[in-house]
């Protein structure tokens, strides 16, 4: 057991419990050493059947539990900054689910705190970078065979939204994955955002502006449009098409199981992001564990988390005002300069 990376998982909700399962049953080289959640019973349920796990209601106590050498943060976004700074104080590497910190001011404090340490400790859970199709698209664009990317057309649909979901959350929660994916695929920062609002769907809860069309302008002159529709009613769909000077490439249309019966055919559509991106989550956590055991941090870092929060904030302002809104980023610390 001493050779395994002991991980403290903060948060035992839908995402956290899935990470506990993943660390215990899927990922090699790691074990769940501690779990923290304000709901002690939920934490105990998440670790049911796993021996030697310390259960806490206080996240800081979980960081100090015996055998903890790394942290996976899957708690609500407003708790992330405190947990990240506590991990930094202990020199613990972190995989933090998005948003790293919901507000850009808090996210920048995390970037600056890590810069003062002089070494990277944070990886942010933008798991699309680990999805097979997204990685294929990234390799194609980087190779230059299709010429300069001009546009990205993106679709992000959910079956339904949680009861607490707000119009702003379509941008700062759902579209945050497209924000990071666009920055990563194109290798460019997003410089401005406009949000267009069609008449809300009849399937959207009262007062929710759903769907929305979010348009980003990159600093390199490309355009990115995102259709976000969180109450489409029929399935979880994520697609992306890159349009370049000499061709285009589209991902997200891989077909699932096709059932033919009773004079018809039916294709299964994923109903949940944990189904659609299960392999990406597995690959992300395994890559993080492997790098952490080697004393390294790879993947999207604190600057990427900050940039996503800053762009999302500009997007919410654009939603509220109906105006094109510039994105304002602080100077990037040398620690976070692109490799």
> What is the spatial distance between Cα 291 and Cα 139, in angstroms, rounded to a whole number?
21
Answer yes or no: is pLDDT of 259 > 70. Answer: no
pLDDT at 317: 98
pLDDT at 246: 95
Per-residue model confidence as pLDDT tens digits over 215-249 = 999 999 999 999 999 999 988 899 999 999 999 99
pLDDT at 15: 94
Answer yes or no: is pLDDT of 142 > 70. Answer: yes
User: Domains plus CATH for the chain?
Assistant: 5-126+279-300 (3.40.50.720), 129-272+307-326 (3.30.360.10)
Q: Are strands 30-36 and 258-261 parallel, antiparallel or unpaired?
A: unpaired
DSSP codes joined into one string, 66-111? TT--EEEE-S-GGGHHHHHHHHHHTT--EEEESPSSSSHHHHHHHH
> What is the spatial distance between Cα 42 and Cα 39, in angstroms, rounded to a whole number?
5
CA-CA-CA-CA torsion sign (36, 37, 41, 44): negative
pLDDT at 253: 82
Average pLDDT, the chain: 94
pLDDT at 275: 74
56 strand-pairing partners: 36
Average pLDDT over residues 118-139: 96
Please say whether the beta carbons of 16 and 36 come within 8 A.
Answer: no
pLDDT at 60: 96
Instruction: Give the pLDDT band of residue 49 (cuts 50, 70, 90).
Output: confident
| Residue from 186, 246, 254, 248 nearest 222 by CA | 186
Average pLDDT over residues 176-203: 97
What are the residues whose beta carbons fall under 8 Å from the beta carbon of 84, sequence distance 6 or more? 73, 94, 96, 100, 101, 110, 113, 122
pLDDT at 130: 97
The larger pLDDT score, comparing residue 72 to residue 263, is at 72
Percent of the chain residues topping a pLDDT of 70 = 93
Q: What is the pTM of this model?
A: 0.93
Peptide bond into 46 cis (omega under 30): no
Per-residue model confidence as pLDDT tens digits over 79-116 = 999 999 999 999 999 999 999 999 999 999 999 999 99
DSSP codes joined into one string, 42-73? HHHHHTTT-TT-EEESSHHHHHTSTT--EEEE
> What is the spatial distance between Cα 179 and Cα 200, in angstroms, rounded to a whole number?
23
Per-residue model confidence as pLDDT tens digits over 265-314 = 666 666 666 677 889 999 999 999 999 999 999 999 999 999 999 999 99
Answer yes or no: is pLDDT of 137 > 70. Answer: yes
Average pLDDT over residues 194-208: 96
CA 155 to chain CA mean position, Å? 16
> What is the spatial distance between Cα 221 and Cα 244, in angstroms, rounded to a whole number?
12
End-to-end CA distance of the chain: 34
Please say whether the beta carbons of 269 and 234 come within 8 A.
Answer: yes
Report helix, strand or coil for 7.
strand
């Amino acid at each position: 057991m001493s050779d395994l990376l002991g991980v403290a998982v903060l948060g035992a909700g839908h995402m956290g419990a899935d990470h506990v399962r993943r660390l215990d049953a899927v990922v090699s080289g790691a074990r769940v050493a501690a779990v923290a959640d304000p709901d002690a019973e939920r934490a105990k349920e998440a670790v049911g059947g796993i021996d030697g796990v310390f259960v806490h209601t206080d996240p800081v106590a979980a960081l100090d539990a015996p055998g903890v050498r790394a942290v996976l943060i899957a708690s609500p976004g407003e708790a992330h900054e405190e947990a990240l700074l506590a991990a930094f104080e202990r020199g613990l590497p972190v995989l933090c689910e998005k948003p790293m910190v919901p507000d850009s001011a808090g996210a920048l404090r995390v970037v600056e705190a890590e810069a003062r340490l002089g070494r990277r400790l944070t990886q942010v859970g933008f798991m699309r970078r680990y999805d097979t199709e997204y990685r294929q698209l990234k390799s194609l664009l980087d190779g230059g065979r299709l010429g300069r990317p001009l546009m990205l057309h993106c679709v992000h649909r959910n079956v339904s939204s949680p009861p607490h979901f707000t119009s702003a959350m379509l941008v700062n929660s759902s579209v945050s994955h497209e924000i990071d994916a666009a920055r990563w695929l194109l290798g460019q920062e997003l410089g401005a955002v406009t949000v267009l609002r069609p008449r809300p769907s009849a399937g959207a809860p009262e007062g929710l502006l759903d769907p929305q069309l979010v348009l980003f302008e990159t600093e390199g002159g490309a355009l990115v449009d995102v259709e976000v529709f969180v109450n489409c009613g029929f399935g979880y769909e994520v697609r992306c098409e890159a349009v370049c000077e000499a061709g285009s490439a589209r991902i997200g249309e891989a077909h699932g199981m096709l059932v033919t019966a009773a004079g018809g055919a039916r294709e299964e559509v994923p109903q949940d992001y944990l189904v659609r991106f299960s392999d990406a989550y597995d690959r992300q956590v395994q890559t993080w564990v492997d790098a952490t055991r080697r004393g390294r941090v790879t993947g999207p870092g604190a600057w990427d988390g900050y940039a996503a929060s800053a762009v999302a904030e500009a997007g919410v302002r654009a939603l509220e005002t109906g105006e094109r809104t510039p994105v304002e980023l602080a100077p990037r610390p040398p620690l976070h300069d692109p490799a």
